[in-house]
Amino acid sequence: MKAIQSRSAALLMAALLLGGCATGGGSSGTTSSPAPASASGAAGATTSAATITIKDFGYSASITVAPGTAVTVTNMDSAAHTVTADQGQAFDARVAGSGGTATFTAPSTPGTYPFHCTYHPNMHGTLTVK
């Protein structure tokens, strides 16, 4: 039974190692742009809780939330990401990689808030508050 434990420990180590070196971006234009996911499934998601999922260096479909909504961000990539408002300091959440989560509070002023990742400036999304 000890064999199973050490095996999963080895797997964990491997995952950590992989996560460690996945951040080394460089300037290689890896523009494997996945087709923009149409915002199906996200219809009428104006609830009091909202989520953004980051995967393959992209945000899930743009979301619309009520003012002051707690927005939970889940990061499925191995690299860390952020959800940072393009303008002002409306919000700025850092999300650790490999399933890390973070929560930020949506602005209380209705409007459209484009955001980006400070680590990967080609990552963009939009948060709409209304």
Candidates 65, 73, 91, 120; binder of Cu ion (CB under 5 A) is 120
Q: In terms of DSSP bridges, do strands 92-95 and 81-85 run parallel, antiparallel, or are they unpaired?
A: antiparallel
- In whole angstroms, the minimum distance from the beta carbon of 99 to Cu ion comes to 15
Residue 52 as a binder of Cu ion (CB under 5 A): the answer is no
Residue 93 as a binder of Cu ion (CB under 5 A): the answer is no
**Could you tell me how many residues make up the chain?**
130
Side-chain-side CA neighbours of 55 within 13 Å: the count stands at 9
Radius of gyration for the alpha carbons in the chain, expressed in angstroms and rounded:
17
Judged by CB, which is closer to Cu ion: 33, or 109? Answer: 33
Output the six-digit token pair for 107. Answer: 């602005």
Q: How many residues bind Cu ion (CB under 5 A)?
A: 5
Candidates 72, 74, 119, 124; binder of Cu ion (CB under 5 A) is 119
Residue 116 as a binder of Cu ion (CB under 5 A): the answer is no
Q: What is the DSSP letter of 130?
A: -
Residue 117 as a binder of Cu ion (CB under 5 A): the answer is yes
Percentages (nearest 5) of helix, strand, coil residues in the chain: 15, 35, 50
Residue 81 as a binder of Cu ion (CB under 5 A): the answer is yes
17: three-class secondary structure by DSSP: helix
Judged by CB, which is closer to Cu ion: 4, or 21? Answer: 21
Judged by CB, which is closer to Cu ion: 53, or 119? Answer: 119
Can you give the binding site for Cu ion, defined by CB under 5 A? 81, 117, 119-120, 123
